[in-house]
Amino acid sequence: MIKGKKVYLDTIEENDLEQLRYWRNLPDYRKYFREYREISKTMQKNWFNNIVNNDKNTIMFSIRSTENNELLGCCGLCYINYIHKYSDLSLYIGKDEVYIDETGIAEESCRLLFNYGFNEIGLNKIWTEIYEFDEKKYNLYKKLGFFQDGLLREQYFYEGKWWNSMILSLLSKEYDIV
């Protein structure tokens, strides 16, 4: 468990899967994810068994309230490269179906995750790919100190239009450990 003031990061348990699947399948969420399809119970269970429990290159956490232990969302470090010390970032807040909140839950979750990634497992870089219409994540990641490394032009087709994809990253030396 990685504890903060509002939230703590904990293991994902089997009894969390249905709630996480519900959030992931919300159309307003799904448009932001690389996995665009509806997630079935079987797909969610396979993700849990194969990735969460058995993939050493992925570390996923449930985000929970320190006040009442309520499940609030999910975050993690994916595709961890232990040689070159980088990881892809995964994050969403499901509570109240906000995706990325403005109350500090997403920000604190990221700070806890970054402290873990940079200090505990020695990452040099945490990166992510977001679509240009994902203003909530873009604003959060800019606030946390991310830089834009690149732009993949017309990478994503959504609502009859091509959208660019941005590659953002944060280096350990750029991150102010809290």
Nearest to 77, CA basis, from 123, 31, 35: 123
In this prediction, residue 36 has a pLDDT band, given cuts at 50, 70 and 90, of confident
CA distance 46 to 71: 21
Task: Express each pLDDT in 81-118 by its tens digit.
Answer: 999 999 999 999 999 999 999 899 999 999 999 999 99
Region 2-127+135-146: CATH code: 3.40.630.30
CA distance 118 to 122: 5
In this prediction, residue 35 has a pLDDT band, given cuts at 50, 70 and 90, of confident
- How many residues are there in the chain? 178
Query: What integer pLDDT is reported at residue 25 of this predicted model?
Result: 94
Place of tokens 């159309």: 27
SS3 120: helix
In this prediction, residue 178 has a pLDDT band, given cuts at 50, 70 and 90, of very low
Largest Cα–Cα distance in the chain?
43
Of residues 23 and 178, the one with the higher pLDDT is 23
156 pLDDT higher than 50: yes
Q: Could you give phi then psi for residue 71, rounded to 5 degrees?
A: -70, 125
In this prediction, residue 177 has a pLDDT band, given cuts at 50, 70 and 90, of low
Nearest to 69, CA basis, from 15, 26, 21: 15
pLDDT, mean over the chain: 95
Mean pLDDT within 136-142: 97
CA dihedral 139, 143, 146, 147 (to 10 degrees): 70
CA distance 10 to 71: 10
Using the 8-state DSSP alphabet, how is residue 82 labeled? T
In one letter, which amino acid is 114?
Answer: F
49 pLDDT higher than 90: yes
